[in-house]
Amino acid sequence: MRQTAAPGGAPQGAPSRRELRAALAPLAKPDTAIALAWLTGDALVWLALTAVTASEVAWGWKLLAGLAAGLWIARLFIIGHDACHQALTAHRKLNRVLGRIAFLPSCTPYSLWELGHNQAHHGFTNLRGRDGVWVPLSAEEYAALPAHRRALERAYRSGWGPGLYYAVELWWKKLYFPRPEQGGGQRPLFARDGALVTAFAFTWVGALWVGATVAGTSVLQALFFGLLLPVLVWKHLMGFVIYVHHTEPDVAWYDDGAAWAASLPYLGATLHLQAPLLDALLHRILQHPAHHLDMTIPFYRLRAAQQSLRALAPQHVQARQLTWAYYWQVARQCKLYDYRQQKWCSFPAPVRRARGVEA
């Protein structure tokens, strides 16, 4: 892996955030017609794929439709994510409406996502105690956990666990209905948005049930291929993408606000991952440094923004080829984090009792 700046150290000679945002300002102009076209098209594709899972076709086609439906949930979520950033259209109220609609298939409450993502994650990317996404534990914190929680942490960072992490630590604990520990408290808006996605989930189940009954096909198959499988695909995609954006031996985490601010996180807290097909399928979400620099750039202009950013700060934007070999290398190396030395480390070896030794 190539390291452009030592973890924990501020990049030297980097342009300021203000300078970079000014240079990219022409791209931070949403187009309502383009946004509506993308949302309408993706919503219709998702509905068509879901309908296939309740229709009278072979189970193999239902499997393909269910897998594709999970991908289209991710695409709709990214559109809603842009709306939540006020980057989708030029109209704030319309963005709030469209964002809630686009978030429905992923069962994401709009207002709670806005709180955790816009304010905490974007405002304090990779700063422990403020950012809440894939925050690494220190060795001391890990050792203090009960055995079942250590096992869960190992599962999350095994390379196989991004979907489990997203489902448990982010969606269930922080997004689905308000909780007392939530940073924004228990606002009525949070409860309304939680109720909205719950009502949609029941409607989704009912539509599949009725569709399968009318078509004379298996209701259980319809629910599995039309709801459970797409949701599992979506959660794994989401967990995977946010993991690789902010986890890597050359990406530093901080527990000190001053050191974090001096590191210029608008350039070094995330990576540009190069995987053209996946990037196109996921509405250019892998062009992530440009998005973190200016979250008001719409997804349909992110590729151009990322190209401009790399030209403006070629020594400071970290790019990686996203391959399976690269991913598994990151998963093997990035388990815990030493916040004093600013480096990733492994889990401690499990303690095994010696055989044949009496107490």
Statement: residue 61 has pLDDT above 50:
yes
Averaged pLDDT score across all residues of the chain: 90
Residue 289 belongs to what H/E stretch? helix 288-293
pLDDT tens digits along 134-180? 999 999 999 999 999 999 999 999 999 999 999 999 999 888 876 66
Residue 2's pLDDT band (cuts 50, 70, 90): very low
**Mean pLDDT of the region 23-38:** 94
For residue 98, how far is the Cα from the chain centroid? 19
Predicted structure pTM score: 0.90
Instruction: Indicate if the pLDDT at residue 356 is higher than 60.
Output: no
The whole-number pLDDT of residue 3 equals: 39
Residue 53: count other Cβ atoms within 10 Å of its Cβ: 28
Domain ranges in the chain are 26-345
Q: Structure tokens of 62?
A: 């239902």
* 165 CB-side CA count, 13 A: 23
Give phi and psi for 246, each to the nearest 5.
-130, 10
CA angle 338, 324, 231 (to 5 degrees): 90
Q: At what angle do helices 32-53 and 92-103 cross, to 10 degrees?
A: 20
